[in-house]
Amino acid sequence: MQRGYEALLGCLSAGVIVGIIAVLCHIRRRASKFKPSRKDIEVTLASLEYEETTCKPMSIKDIYTATENLSPSNVIGQGIAGKVYRGVLANGWPVAVKHIVKNEHAGTFLREVTSLSHVRHPNLVSLRGYCDGQEEFFLVYELCINGKDKNLSWIQRLQIALGSACGLWFLHIYPEGCIVHRDIKPTNILIGVDMEPKLSDFGLSRVIDLGVSHVSSEVRGTFGYVDPEYRHNHKVNAAGDVYSFGMVLLQLLSGKRAINIMNTAMPMSLDKMASTLIQDGNVLDFADPRLNGEYSTEAFDLSLKLALSCTGHKKQRPSMEQVVSRLEKALEISMRDDSKHNSISIIKSLA
């Protein structure tokens, strides 16, 4: 009987090892899908002729029919330029329709049409169409949900961070010039039907021509996510997006606001809070309590240090390619540790 039990455990252990190896192989395959290689970009560009048939001019009648005459019950968001409505096109596509009503926001309309109609990536929201009226404009996107109210697991948070980073990397190495988003924040990262993150809202984006290090611009963006160096020198470049992404990553790790607005006398940013905890040796105190300790401490430490490197001095910040590589490592570590934990639990339950 004892020998039979030992044989069972032996077979189970061998099966667990095989399972772990299979999981790691699956992780590598999944991680590789996130990487926007030069070949991926060429394929994306080659498919533009087909894809652009989904981004076309629409009439006011199309817009009003899709949104039930801009029904208040279909409002799903509110931005500086106007409201966002849920709608359904005549071909059955569910969409989000951004209504730009003020003349001073015409630039937002033109930038988004220019940026999104020619750019396709799994981690970018697709622009389906647009309507150019005399006094109002409409932008029609694929419909995504916003995952800010979900209690995300550690693995889901890493996957959202990784997918978002891949979208930014794709923009920064775009062949026609580096596209700087300029407004990376949680509310501009939408979640697709399969929980894939998609960057949205390109109203502030700028394109930097090849061979040019930066462009000068008035300071735009959202308080708490704007690069301090950009606020000082007004130079737009990819490093500003890296800073903003670092702040988003800190929020994913901690579940806290970018700025501690509860202390109005001396508000503290998340990067300063994290740095202080690291200096005191209390790194894990930064973790979101809603994770209930269910995360890889090694991957958490790696991700936290990565986030702080993103928010550090501009010359020391990693590129988005390096960010993607480190997040892939954190995800691989987490999946490996999660598999080990599950395997141990199974063995204990059978012992």
Strand 56-57 to strand 127-132: parallel, antiparallel, or no bridges (unpaired)? parallel
Active-site pick, 62, 132, 183, 285: 183
The CA-atom distances, in angstroms, between 158 and each of 109, 252, 302, 336 are: 32, 8, 11, 14
Measure the CA–CA gap between 106 and 103, rounded to whole angstroms.
5
**Hey, which bits of 75-186 come out as E strands?**
75-78, 83-88, 94-100, 127-132, 137-142, 178-180
Q: Is 175 exposed, middle or buried (0-12, 13-18, 19+ CB in 10 A)?
A: exposed
**Which token pair is 132?**
């150019």
Run of H or E residues at 197: strand 197-199
Give yes or no: 183 in active site: yes
Eight-state DSSP code of residue 316 = G
User: Which residues are known catalytic residues?
Assistant: 183
